[in-house]
Amino acid sequence: MYKYILKKFIIMLITVIAICTVTFFIVHSIPGSPFFQDKKNMGSMLVRLNEKYGFDKPVTTQYWIFVKNLLHGDLGSSISKRIPVKQIILSGLPNSMRLGMVAIIFIIVTSFPLGIIAALNRGKFIDKLISGITSLGLIMPSFVLGAFLLYLFCERLMWLPIGGLPSPLYYIGPVLTISFFDISFTTKLMRASMIDVLASDYVRTAKTFGFSRKEIVLKYALKNALGSVVTYLGSTIGIILSGTFIAEKLFTIAGVGQYFVDTIMVRDYPVIMGMSILCSIFYVLSVFFVDLCYMIIDPKIRLK
């Protein structure tokens, strides 16, 4: 067990380092400079700014300076906001975490029952209704749904407020924007997995032994249908927790996602790297969480 965790930790560390390295060189290979946004920063001023932030050095040198500072817990300072990157992340992370956790819980408590209901009523009206709604969720982009919710329920009907997350009512719009696609995909995945499991031999054997439908679904079918669903949710959790970009931007929520979008537009390299590190950490942790869930779902994995 300990060897397994240590092995996974080493893999996660290597993955984070690889993501950060690739991101660093990609970002610095893009033509242009963050100082070109302001025409006043031309000439000698531009030279001094490049020297201050180390952009006058070779990219490889800049990378090793970045790694050295990172090992000391220094992510640098934002070029556009003139404040430490760590402060930006710490100020926006609580809102993103709260919003992301609510969205993840909503995805799970909604998609699992819907997928099971659709599978148990295959071909019936309720199955067709759920399939129709989830098909709509798969083809509708998040920004379109968010803009629609913002216009209809926030501006026209004024049923939903916007601007931060001071009360539960403020979560409705952004959570729906974040989760609608994932609910739709997870529901379809759960339905397909349940249908396959319910058609298996051991389920038919359980029926012949007189087990009730509820016992078959909860004790046997559900556990075996969770494999592919957990795999998808694992990667989704990492993406959601690292920053809900569209929802934060549309509903004016001061989270890391909104900061990330703003800094990409102005090529704020230190903030982009800080956000990339944060996203990669959340992602590898979510993959590790999936592996732990597999061990719970299928104890045989512990022996491999």
- Predicted pLDDT of residue 189: 92
- Predicted pLDDT of residue 298: 62
75: left (phi over 0), alpha (psi -120 to 50) or beta: alpha
> What residue type is assigned to position 49 of the chain?
L
Euclidean distance between CA atoms 232 and 243, whole angstroms: 18
Residue matched to tokens 């993103």: 96
For each of the chain's 304 residues, which pLDDT tens digit applies? 677 778 878 888 888 889 889 988 888 887 766 765 555 545 667 777 777 777 778 888 989 988 898 888 888 888 878 888 888 888 888 888 889 899 999 999 999 999 999 998 998 999 999 999 999 999 998 889 999 999 999 888 888 888 888 888 999 999 999 999 999 999 999 999 888 888 888 777 877 777 777 777 877 777 778 877 887 887 788 778 765 778 888 888 888 877 777 777 777 888 888 888 888 888 888 888 777 776 666 655 554 5
Q: Is residue 193 part of a domain?
A: yes
Q: Is residue 62 part of a domain?
A: no
Instruction: Identify the domain containing residue 220 by its residue range.
Output: 91-267
The 10 Å CB-count burial string (b at 16+, else e) for 45-58 is ebeebeeebebeee
Q: For residue 84, list its beta bridge partners.
A: 77
What angle is formed at CA 71 by the lines to CA 67 and CA 73, rounded to 5 degrees?
Answer: 115
CATH code: domain of residue 253: 1.10.3720.10
Q: Is residue 82 part of a domain?
A: no
Euclidean distance between CA atoms 78 and 36, whole angstroms: 16
**Helix or strand run (H / E) with residue 284:** helix 269-297
Q: Is residue 39 part of a domain?
A: no
Q: Is residue 119 part of a domain?
A: yes
Q: Is residue 79 part of a domain?
A: no
Q: Is residue 70 part of a domain?
A: no
Residue 71 CB coordination number (10 Å) = 8
7: left (phi over 0), alpha (psi -120 to 50) or beta: alpha
- Predicted pLDDT of residue 297: 65
Q: Is residue 23 part of a domain?
A: no
What angle is formed at CA 188 by the lines to CA 183 and CA 191, rounded to 5 degrees?
Answer: 120
CA 144 to chain centroid: 19
Total domains present in the chain:
1
CA 56 to chain centroid: 35
